[in-house]
A and B are shown apart, each in its own frame.
Chain A
Amino acid sequence: MSKDKRLLSEKDIDNILKNLSDKIISQHSSESKKNPLVLIGIHRRGVPLGKRLKNIIEKKTDKKLLSGTLDITLYRDDLDTIGHTPVVKNTDIPFDLTNKNIVLVDDVLFTGRTVRAALNELTDFGRPKRIQLSVLIDRGHRELPISADYIGKAIKTERNEIVMVRLKEIDGIDEVVITEK
């Protein structure tokens, strides 16, 4: 028994991404060449979201952005307990992160554990100047002291609800849906 509630449509997601990119641009407008902005998408749905943000920001600022993808599987804290090995996807950061201004991109901020793993992994690629976090949805229920710098939409959820972000690149449709377990 599950009841789906549609939270965001394709148009909503478009608007939110434009909004997020404006906020990112304004915060990074005074950056020097020494500390360029880098967008890193977290697998899976942070990757297409990161690409979309990159496109919007590049169009608005007329500047090329460095970007990469991050798979946090090997840094997870629950490999001993989930009883199977999750699929390891490609991490692609073909440049040194030292002195870069990084914005991590993910779809949903929930417990904060994914972000914890991502932070640990990123520091293995150098010593960034700063790391920020951008998410489409902040649904609360943090288990670690982590917060996002750019939030598309903050919503109240029950712990057992599931927030599903579907994106064209992966799911064939753009929408956000809440389901009860």
Chain B
Amino acid sequence: MKSEKQIARLPTSPDAGRRNGGQAWKHKHLLGLEDLSALEINHILDTAESFKEISTRNIKKVPTLRGKVVVNMFVEPSTRTKMSFSLAAKRLSADVVDFSPSTSSLSKGETLKDTARNIEAMGIDIVIIRHTSPGAPHMLSRIIDASVINAGDGAHEHPTQGLLDIFTMREQKGKIKGLKVAVVGDILHSRVARSNIWGLTKLGAEVIAVGPPTLIPLQLRDLGIKISYNLDEVIPEVDVINILRIQLERQRSKFFPTVREYARLFGINSERLKKAKKDVMIMHPGPINRGVEITPEIADGNQSVILRQVTNGLSVRMAVLYLVSAVSQKGE
């Protein structure tokens, strides 16, 4: 059997490290990139690379998670992340159940804990949770036996978005180490920014946080992140610009005077990009506010990889579901 052969060959093989990667992954949950090592992050990215091919097949499905049940527990609204996770789970042959808060007992006052325990009593294997409160996935992982994947917890982390951003950078630029990445916008409220920062710095990229002073926490400096309040100074030196969405629903003009002023100072437009490197890559996690943080001609232009990010998200989420699934078996 393959597994026997693998173990037997470990000591003599020059690439034992790579083959040993299976055992290198030992997490039952994916709660954030802060908890992962560079080796583990690279292992997810390598696995995702192998999963890319499945989406090009005639039959875009493999039997790996047959008989497993995945619950999408999105307590906060989402389109692409939820669809992406559903599709990823289905391509691995898992059964997917959606849980929507407005029609559920959460709106009747049931606690998250009770809801989760009740769902678990029906026999599930993986919970994908998005919640407004930071730490909700962590709490859940302590009280249920199933694997928990964080799909965004408040302003804390959004690990699979961070991973798919880094995956796309690696795919397009060939490497992460030494890459200069500007993360532009509302760093303060952005879980995408936090997961990007954790992942990118672990892999050796240089991250520059750019935005209005009110939206950039100074503590970022402790993580080795450069801070800039002047986008035009940063643009010429970076390889990647990852633009964050201005979360109009979260802040309503408390942090900067007007949306128009924000667009003038921090919006990415073709005039501003004239000073950028020729091969600068433009990223955005979506949904985009056209004309605010990014102009339509840039969002739809040659340098934009926004839709590539969405495609890659599928491979990355398939990889994450696959990796946590086997650990959940023996973790009990």
Contacts and interface: CB of A to CB of B under 8 A. Distances in A.
Nearest to A124: B59
Given A85-B323, A162-B5, A74 B18 contact: no
B57 A162 contact: no
A125 B57 contact: yes
B322 interface: yes
Nearest to A75: B63
A111 B22 contact: no
A78 B4 contact: no
A91 B53 contact: yes
Interface residues of A, number: 41
A164 B63 contact: no
A82 B25 CA distance: 13
Interface stretch (A48-56, A146-154, A165-173): A165-173
A84 B326 contact: yes
A100 to B, nearest CB: 14
Given A124-B59, A125-B58, A164-B8, A89 B2 contact: no
Contacts of A138: none
A85 B15 contact: no
Interface in B10-59: 12-15, 18-19, 21-23, 25-26, 46-47, 49-51, 53-54, 57-59
A74 to B, nearest CB: 4
Contacts of A87: 18-19, 21-22, 46-47
B3 interface: yes
A90 B18 CA distance: 14
A163 B8 CA distance: 9
A53 B232 CA distance: 57
Most central of B8, B51, B59 by chain A CB within 10 Å: B8
Interface in A22-59: 44
A147 to B, nearest CB: 17
B51 A84 contact: no
Most central of A78, A81, A87, A111 by chain B CB within 10 Å: A87
B61 interface: yes
A124 B53 contact: no
Given A84-B25, A87-B19, A170 B13 contact: yes
A113 interface: yes
B274 interface: no
Question: Is the contact region of chain B dominated by helix, strand, or loop, or is it mixed?
Answer: helix
B108 interface: no
B12 A166 contact: yes
B260 interface: no
A99 interface: no
A145 interface: no
A38 B323 CA distance: 32
B329 interface: yes
B58 A164 contact: no
A164 B10 CA distance: 11
B63 A89 contact: no
Contacts of B132: none
Interface in A69-94: 71-72, 74-76, 78-92
A179 interface: yes
29 contacts: A44-B19, A76-B2, A80-B329, A82-B3, A82-B326, A83-B327, A83-B329, A83-B330, A84-B23, A85-B22, A85-B323, A87-B18, A87-B21, A87-B47, A88-B51, A88-B322, A90-B53, A91-B50, A91-B53, A108-B5, A113-B1, A124-B59, A125-B57, A164-B5, A164-B8, A164-B12, A170-B14, A171-B14, A179-B8
Give the top 3 A-B pairs by smallest Cβ distance, nearest first: A83-B330, A85-B326, A74-B62
Interface of B: 1-6, 8-9, 12-15, 18-19, 21-23, 25-26, 46-47, 49-51, 53-54, 57-59, 61-64, 92, 319, 322-323, 325-327, 329-330
